[in-house]
A and B are shown apart, each in its own frame.
Chain A
Amino acid sequence: MNYRKECYWEHFAHEADIGIRGYGNTIEMAFSQAATAMIAAICDVSKVKPMIRQDIYCEAPDNELLLVDWLNELVYAIAVRHMLFSQFDVNIENSCLKATAWGEPIDISRHQPAVEVKGATYTELKVNKDSNGKWMAQCVIDV
């Protein structure tokens, strides 16, 4: 999970909810890893088969608001399509995000989903690039 390669994700502690964090060489990779971290808060991502496609589009005034929008569009897709996702292809241009997520319908016995994500919050919300050029995208999700 938390291995040192070019992109990865992790959870960080929050008292009532869960902090999610994605790293990548590009902002797109960091966003896609943050999405994986969010799904991992719900279930074991490796058990979600990337079979059905969901297109997502959103735009926001800055990268941080864009991260929250991206995650919330996924939360919406999970809720109305009763699906979980495991693969993400993200493109960002001029604060516009176009992405494709792949997943499958929720199978309660196989996926064992622990929590329902109510929404991504602005708590601990950060999107930045470090001096080595690595991107990090994080926030707390309300579960």
Chain B
Amino acid sequence: MDNKQLTQLTEYSWKIEPYGEMRVPAIIYADADLIDQMDDKVSEQIINVAKLPGIVSAAYAMPDAHWGYGFPIGGVAAFDPDNGGIVSAGGVGFDISCGVRNLLTGLTLQDIEPVKKKLADSLFRDIPAGVGSTGHIHLNKKEMDSMLEGGAQWAVESGYGIPADLERIEENGRMSGAVPSEVSDHAKKRQRDEMGTLGSGNHYLEVQEVVKVYDINTSKVFNITEGDIVISIHCGSRGLGHQIGTEFLKRMVITASQHGIILPDRELACAPLLSAVGKTYLGAMRAAINCALANRQIITHLVRKVFKHFFPEIHLNLLFDVSHNTCKLEKHIVNGKEKQLYIHRKGATRAFSPGHEELPTVFKQSGQPVLIGGSMGTSSYILAGNTGNDVLSFSSACHGAGRSMSRRKAFKTWHGRQVTDELAERGIIIRSPTSRGVAEEAPGAYKDVKAVVNAAHYAGLARKVAKLQPVLCIKG
């Protein structure tokens, strides 16, 4: 990124002063190297976000920010409904409530080493992954509405998991304010065969080893120690969320001028929070959040069944479940006053700091677990929301590594087989229905997740707690 228009605030934060139609400044959290690697489109897009009506304080870009559509991926922005604030379908993204869930196994690498290959085969067989894969659960109209209303709570009531799982999911597993009747028949039809499926692209299920603990006290609260085996599930609201995103992006493009909104770019399509379109979108988007929470809960159930077969004595407990494509109503202090704001996080993780009233008791002192996915050959990280990040980023942190190379270039650079073999030499087993998919997701096509996580840590957004190394990966 051309850093001429940036003012460096600290070693890890940069500011673009408001000019032209910008209503607030733009702030980017990154070190100088990450800024160097960032596409110019990130600054262009974050500047555009700063022009939207009702934006509060600043438009933020996280250390993993990259070129998205409308909002950059890694973008955070808060809007005040009482001041003409808007909601943007592009500001949430197509994969509504895409997120990461982490499960604790209580096992070590030694425990799984003898069955590693069989475990990989069983997980690959039992967890539907990839384009065109279908789930084992087919919901009728009434069940679909109950799922959209109840999220992971619905899943637990339907036998997928236990009540104790719920307190370890954002919103206790159920996003309130969901309106299933605002979700189109098309969106529901698209979801018919997709409950409990992982999807494709950068979505995965990984068995990982905790290779380093940075913060002993917090790791005790999170119940992780070096050498532990954990499981990460990365997926979202599947076809239902994609269809809602598609439909509302169009509606917001068409209705923007009726609301007196001049869009700097059509892809920033949005509607006032208090308008009919805005309210309808919020109802549908919250239903999609519940769909994602139910989906990750069903996949958890499938993973538990596989692990039970190999290790009958263990139970997989949840560490936590975070979503990184959302718009949520939250209380924040702005200029000394408490405000109810709609926080868009697109490719950004909510990261409530210690003491936050919405945190479950177990995390009150540590702060919220923040789960950061790497690429399939590289590390993932567990962080914790940091004190003071409400002022820095409306309690938000990064979400992953972010690509450094396009899919097309990656496909031309690597062969799927070669990537799988190289990872196997390092002890990492890959199972995927598509070798082209593996090539496009090659570790070398992603930015260095370590640099992203360090920037989030030193910028004060979230504290590093542990580093995870993949052992086996199921790729859609």
Contact = CB atoms under 8 A, between A and B. Distances in A.
Interface string A13-49: 1111110000000000000000000000111000000
Given A14-B406, A122-B249, A113 B201 contact: no
Nearest to A71: B246
A75 B73 CA distance: 22
A122 B266 contact: yes
A112 B239 CA distance: 20
Contacts of B407: 17-18, 41, 114-115, 143
A115 B246 contact: no
A140 B69 contact: yes
A69 B250 contact: yes
A116 interface: yes
Given A76-B190, A79-B190, A113 B130 contact: yes
Nearest to A41: B407
A15 to B, nearest CB: 4
Contacts of B134: 82
Interface of B: 39, 41, 66-70, 73, 90, 93-95, 130-134, 186, 189-190, 192-194, 199-201, 239, 242-243, 245-246, 249-250, 253-254, 265-267, 269, 402-403, 406-409, 411, 433-437, 439-440, 476
A143 B201 contact: yes
B95 A118 contact: yes
Interface string A102-134: 000010110011111011111101000000000
Give the one of A43, A64, A116 with max B CB within 10 A.
A116
Contacts of A65: 250, 253-254
Interface of A: 11, 13-18, 41-43, 61, 64-65, 68-69, 72, 75-76, 79-80, 82, 106, 108-109, 112-116, 118-123, 125, 140, 142-143
A81 B306 CA distance: 29
Given A15-B39, A61-B254, A108 B434 contact: yes
Given A80-B192, A123-B69, A142-B69, A116 B403 contact: no
A138 B439 CA distance: 25
Contact of A15 (B132, B245, B406, B476): B406
Contacts of A13: 406, 408-409
Contact of B131 (A113, A125, A142): A113
B267 A121 contact: yes
Minimum-distance CB pairs A-B, first 10? A106-B132, A113-B131, A123-B69, A114-B436, A122-B267, A118-B242, A118-B94, A119-B246, A114-B437, A121-B69
